[in-house]
Amino acid sequence: MQDALSVTAVIINYKTLDLTQKAIESFRLYYPSIPFLLIDNGSNDESTTFLIKYHETNSQTTDIILNEKNTHHGPAMNMALHKLKSSLVLFIDSDCEVNTGGFLERMVSLLEENPKNYIVGKIIYMNKRGFDTENRSGAISYIRPYCMLIRRNLYFEFPKFTRHGTPCLKNMETAATHGFNLIDFPTENYIYHRGRGTAERYGYQLGWRGKLNYLLNKFGL
């Protein structure tokens, strides 16, 4: 595997102390020295306190961003990619638990096979509005960022991650049209992803745009 400094792991927290703590601790069981960037999205609760204390105790391998308000997941990922200097960035959702090691080494190896390889993770398919669909004509290949390794320098060539239920959709769609590759990887063999760990407690908070997008999708528009 590359030198540890070429990969940084990122976890974004919003008011989920129990989940975030388990995500961090389970990742560290297998990757104790990979640099961490922990982002708190304006939680201002016990989870923020935990992240601050964790950073103080592990300052040599951990950096932290404390946002004053909830910027939402996509913008927080964009923030991380702008802040970091490592060539590769691993995003792990706060509702993930690492069950076994070896996945990061394999993901890095897959990216390095071709300079056009952009992101590694579990590929699914979305329609143009970011809702799940089958692999058929017009479907967009998509990697949910719950466990996703990205080549950071390529990110800036495409639309930034946004506040959306599928925040990476436009970025990945544009990358694919420019000849860059999304690489399928069986993350489920290594990671337990609870799914909607934050959203089931606090919703997606996408405002009227999210409601409009949902309605337009229901009508097939």
Distance CA 184, CA 143 (A): 8
Distance CA 175, CA 158 (A): 6
User: What's the pLDDT at 136?
Assistant: 83
Average pLDDT in the chain: 90
Q: What is the mean pLDDT of residues 149-159?
A: 98
Secondary element (H or E) of residue 125: strand 123-126
> Do the Cβ atoms of 143 and 172 come closer than 8 Å?
yes
pLDDT category of residue 72 using cuts at 50, 70 and 90 = very high
User: What's the pLDDT at 2?
Assistant: 43
Distance CA 125, CA 142 (A): 6
User: What's the pLDDT at 138?
Assistant: 82
18 has a pLDDT exceeding 90 = yes
Angstrom CA distances, 62 to 49, 84, 105, 157, 162, stand at 15, 12, 20, 27, 25
- Look up tokens 């690489």; give the residue: 183
Phi (first) and psi of residue 30, to 5 degrees: -105, -25
The structure's pTM equals 0.88
Q: Give CATH superfamily name and number for 4-218.
A: Spore Coat Polysaccharide Biosynthesis Protein SpsA; Chain A (3.90.550.10)
Q: For residue 19, what are the contacts with CB-CB under 8 A and spacing of at least 6?
A: 94, 95, 194, 197, 198
215 has a pLDDT exceeding 80 = no
Q: Which residue has the higher pLDDT, 204 or 161?
A: 161
pLDDT category of residue 207 using cuts at 50, 70 and 90 = low
- Could you tell me how far CA 42 lies from the centroid of its own chain? 18
